Structure 1
């Protein structure tokens, strides 16, 4: 079955990895590369893909490092989940409260010895991963069996992951043959990743603003709950922070419910009801008059 595109959003990605069984992490949107979170397991970079903008990286030398879990993208529209897996499956299990969970632990064990293209095929063949991914797709009531060929005018977006592994920083781009070694991470691995992301951004037109960076960070709710247990902790301050984080999670949950809900049947019934009592024509007439007024045509 096919995969669909999903939104690059911290609430979506956090809920997605939780559905995989992962605990101890959440996603945080990065609004400036100058203010990256201090604690991060990895970065995910979303950008509008173009052959011209990507051509400058074609000569990047890929490496064959058995310690790096890397999958080539073989399934259309799976790059968001593939980038997420690139971070999760390369994160040290001893990192804080991070737990990969049974499903992804088994998946990693099964795929670790496979070549990168077979890892990509394994992602596509995993029903658990595909169903979880597709559950965040906005419902489309007008499904067509005819697939239109993509054109140069279409907006095509791509996700790339950046991770530290054994003191080295790697770029994981599923469109490449393997991971790209970016440099050592003796001090701050994010500085290395930041330089790479900035270089990618500058390759695009100055008018292009369709970029997004998410950081995979320790679960703030769990972190604050642990800090509250420490003797001498500033309980009042920590409690306020915890409530703020819990409110954020509640908002994420509400937004995800709205994303998944199909409102079309409701709209159709509403239009039928308005048409039945003559209100629809009157509303359309008033709308047309307002548009004329705004255009200065009345």
Structure 2
């Protein structure tokens, strides 16, 4: 979850599959993340087997609301508290992959998980967020702003806080891992038949979404699942050896789509890494020299005033014109 304290050095993370998949690649974990827009079985089929759901939601303090599930104070698996601002995305990933048995991972990650074995959630969270290499991996696609407004005496505005949590199976039950909670939350056992843990998790997530106003867009859902490329490549090789042209053609289409998705992720991540300050400075200088900067400023002020008026009509919080 985000906050005003940036002293920890952890930057905000975008809820984007390319960002999470790049983080997992850095950690040496053979999993990827994809956006989910529906939870029905047909929509989830292309991502199976799914290891976990990563749920992003707008955090609202509501102490009177009854909590779904039960705290498991004797949880035997991996669970870490969030002890610094902005680290919840990586904490969610760690709480997920730390509970997947036999998952391959890079040596640094394996050493970190081994080092925290036996620690309580608070100490484990402190150990994780004190890891320089993990913080650097987290920040790789969330560079700090090159422009600071500190010291200008500008009024502070309160921004909505968003938070990442995880839903996944562990020892026959569906668990919720929220780094801001004291313990993992058990949502009960699930049937091994049919969709298995997915059906139970769907009910829990849909019930949580139902607590928001109709049509609210204050959350997103990601699926953490196996990278399908190695399996698809192997299946293609087998289909080609058996001269099964129809299956081979279908597999090639899927592989092409997966590669195109990764190319798009790589392009978007390159944009996230780029520093645009020089470009913006050059553009403003060119506009000033050509005499178009003042008009652009006035046009921007006009647009902002229109947005403020619309916001006030909707009963929203006031916005600052400057």
Same fold? TM cut 0.5:
yes
Match of 1:168 in 2: 173
| Aligned ranges 1:1-298 → 2 under 5 Å | 1-22=8-29, 24-34=30-40, 35-36=43-44, 37-52=47-62, 55-57=65-67, 60-66=70-76, 68-93=77-102, 99-144=104-149, 154-185=159-190, 186-187=192-193, 188-231=196-239, 232=242, 234-281=247-294
Cα distance, 1:283 vs structure 2: 5.9
Contact 1:139/1:261 (<8 A) preserved:
no
Contact 1:139/1:262 (<8 A) preserved:
no
Cα 1:179/1:282, change in 2 over 3 Å: closer
- Following the alignment from structure 2 to structure 1, what is the Cα–Cα distance between the partners of residues 85 and 265? 27
- Following the alignment from structure 1 to structure 2, what is the Cα–Cα distance between the partners of residues 16 and 149? 35
Cα distance, 1:281 vs structure 2: 4.7
TM-score (norm 2): 0.79
TM-score (norm 1): 0.85
Contact 1:138/1:260 (<8 A) preserved:
yes
Cα 1:143/1:20, change in 2 over 3 Å: farther
Contact 1:124/1:130 (<8 A) preserved:
yes
List gaps (5 residues or longer) in structure 2. 1-7, 307-322
List gaps (5 residues or longer) in structure 1. none
Cα 1:269/1:259, change in 2 over 3 Å: same
Q: For residues 50-92 of structure 1, what are the alpha-carbon distances to aligned partners after superposition, in whole Å with 9 as ceiling and x for unaligned?
A: 01288432883333122x2011111111111111111111112
Relative contact order higher in (CA < 8 Å, ≥ 6 apart): 1
Q: Please, what is the CA RMSD of the aligned residues?
A: 2.7
Cα 1:149/1:207, change in 2 over 3 Å: farther
Cα distance, 1:8 vs structure 2: 0.5
* SS state at 2:50 partner: coil
Q: For residues 17-56 of structure 1, what are the alpha-carbon distances to aligned partners after superposition, in whole Å with 9 as ceiling and x for unaligned?
A: 111222x211011101223343101111000010128843
Aligned pair count?
283
